[in-house]
Structure 1
Amino acid sequence: MNTIDIRTVDVVQYLQPLREGGSMPAIVKADDDFLYVLKFRGSGQGKKSLISEFIGGEMARAIGLKVPELVFMNLEDTFRQTEPDEEIQDLLKFSVGLNLGLHFLSGAITFDPLISTADAITASKVVVLDSLISNIDRTAKNANLLYWHNELWVIDNGASFYFHHNWETWQNHLTRTFPFINDHVLLQQATALSDAATEIKKHLTREKINEIVNNVPEDWLTSESDVLNANEKRAAYNQFITTKLSMIDVLVKEAEDAR
């Protein structure tokens, strides 16, 4: 089993904002000379969207889906001083510290549900994964999928695990299904859901889930306004994912019925 090794890099150049995203990520250059799409801790959903992005992305990678490399990115408080846009100034100010970067796929094409296709097992894996992590943001309006070198790449899992926006009631979500799957952009192409579920169960072992969750930076899990501490949150993410995996057949049936 491959172990997770997340690199940490420093942002050395802010290049341009990506304004089509609600959280206004940006293309930046790091000290390793690569370009990344930087997801900011100071954006609307804050550190919780980074946690969703990270856990969802590494779960996708673990089950064999194509995901850009994820890196932790240090942002210093120097970039806002030369930034003329006040909105971006504030975003940079509140994002000083550890953020999340996705390797920039230069020349990638946005998935278009009207003309793009995915093979049955890949589409089915994405559908089942999004049911497991309660990802409400993979619709025809906003697919969050790219084509790069003739392969489908999964990006942007930041709207997953929405239970963590209210820690007082998070356990209420444990046994819920995911009716939002009805709006999934790949649902009609997902004709191998049972096979995908078998593959996912094989790769998402308790050890792998624990490893992914344990790689979430402590800093992202710390909040004075939350009722749980960092260790309790790690345990909650673990419990949520393992519980969803235990009911994967129910989630598959729900997706099949929606098809």
Structure 2
Amino acid sequence: MINPDIRTVNVVQYIKPLREGGSLPAIVEADDGFLYVLKFRGAGQGKSALIAEFLGGELARAIGLKVPELVFMNLDDSFSQTEPDEEIQDLLKFSVGLNLGLHFLSGAITYDPLVSEIDGITASKIVLLDSLISNIDRTHKNTNLLQWHTETWVIDNGASFYFHHNWPTWKNHLTRTFPLIKNHVLLAKASHLLEAAKKIKEILNQDTVEAIVSKIPEDWLTNEKETITPNDKRAAYITYLDAKISMIDTLAKEAQDER
């Protein structure tokens, strides 16, 4: 189900960086008393990666997958002033404002395709989700999945929607399939692709897609270096997702053929 309200919290303590992540996310505490993995707007791919992370997470949640709660996180400029590490100091400085947080799953372990268990319908849903959002980063090298309380949780969707790094050509992607699905870590276990495709089509109707896209913060859609407006970007994400959902049977066949 769609989360009706994405909460907004304030960062009150920077705890530690997660250096295994290329964008240097961090564990932080918020003013609600919970710990979160904070994804920074000032990191490599900037606000576009936050949008991809947000859309991918909420679409995954909508189709019944396990996703840590996503929250918008306000970061003020006080943290950079007390951080001794220059790299982290710069990251904090460039990330003042609204960022994205994922609820920290304490004790979770990285999904291991050799030993972790996952059922065929869940694996199929994840494979098709990543086909829909063009996620290039859920491979054996980097699974971006967690095992927590014997369940598989979807995290780290920031490498999705890569068309939004070159807005002038975004329409070229509307009819493309996703051949890179051949590298997906769960492809071998995705034994119910046609069933999963049917379920996803039933859930991800236009109203659902529009409701999720409408939650993207206006600030994340604003870029002075681009001529495309925030409203046009929002419309583009909706058009893109509608196009991909309409061809989900083709995407399912592509994944099935790669299996």
TM-score range, shorter chain: over 0.9
The letter for the 1-side match of 2:126 is V
* Residue 86 (structure 1) aligns with: 86
* Residue 105 (structure 2) aligns with: 105
* Residue 228 (structure 1) aligns with: 228
* Residue 144 (structure 1) aligns with: 144
What CA deviation, in whole Å up to 9, does each residue of 1:131-159 have, x standing for no partner? 00000000000000000001000000000
SS in 2 for 1:252: helix
* Residue 68 (structure 2) aligns with: 68
Taking structure 2 as the reference length, the TM-score comes to 0.99
Q: Using the alignment, how far apart are the partners of 1:4 and 1:152 within structure 2?
A: 23
Q: Using the alignment, how far apart are the partners of 2:129 and 2:3 within structure 1?
A: 20
Distance 1:58 1:254, change over 3 A: same
* Residue 209 (structure 2) aligns with: 209
Q: Using the alignment, how far apart are the partners of 2:248 and 2:189 within structure 1?
A: 19
Q: Using the alignment, how far apart are the partners of 1:3 and 1:203 within structure 2?
A: 14
The letter for the 2-side match of 1:145 is L
* Residue 58 (structure 1) aligns with: 58
8 Å contact 2:27–2:38 — kept in the other structure?
yes
Q: Which runs of 4+ in 1 moved over 2 A?
A: 1-4
8 Å contact 1:138–1:184 — kept in the other structure?
yes
The letter for the 1-side match of 2:11 is V
Q: Using the alignment, how far apart are the partners of 1:159 and 1:3 within structure 2?
A: 22
SS in 2 for 1:28: strand
Q: Using the alignment, how far apart are the partners of 1:117 and 1:24 within structure 2?
A: 29
* Residue 35 (structure 1) aligns with: 35
8 Å contact 1:52–1:158 — kept in the other structure?
yes
Between 1:31-40 and 1:201-210, the stretch displaced more is: 201-210
Unmatched 5+ residue regions in structure 2? none
Distance 1:16 1:2, change over 3 A: closer
The letter for the 1-side match of 2:127 is V
The letter for the 2-side match of 1:166 is N
Unmatched 5+ residue regions in structure 1? none
Q: Using the alignment, how far apart are the partners of 1:20 and 1:114 within structure 2?
A: 21
Counterparts of residues 96-175 of structure 1 (less than 5 Å): 96-175=96-175
The letter for the 1-side match of 2:124 is S
The letter for the 2-side match of 1:52 is A
Residue identity (%): 71
Q: Using the alignment, how far apart are the partners of 1:20 and 1:73 within structure 2?
A: 21
SS in 2 for 1:71: strand
Distance 1:22 1:3, change over 3 A: closer
8 Å contact 2:2–2:212 — kept in the other structure?
no
8 Å contact 1:132–1:245 — kept in the other structure?
yes
* Residue 257 (structure 1) aligns with: 257
Matched, 1:248 2:251: no
Q: Using the alignment, how far apart are the partners of 1:23 and 1:117 within structure 2?
A: 29
8 Å contact 1:53–1:158 — kept in the other structure?
yes
SS in 1 for 2:208: helix
Q: Using the alignment, how far apart are the partners of 2:58 and 2:100 within structure 1?
A: 13
The alignment of Structure 1 onto Structure 2 pairs a total of residues equal to 259
The letter for the 2-side match of 1:156 is D
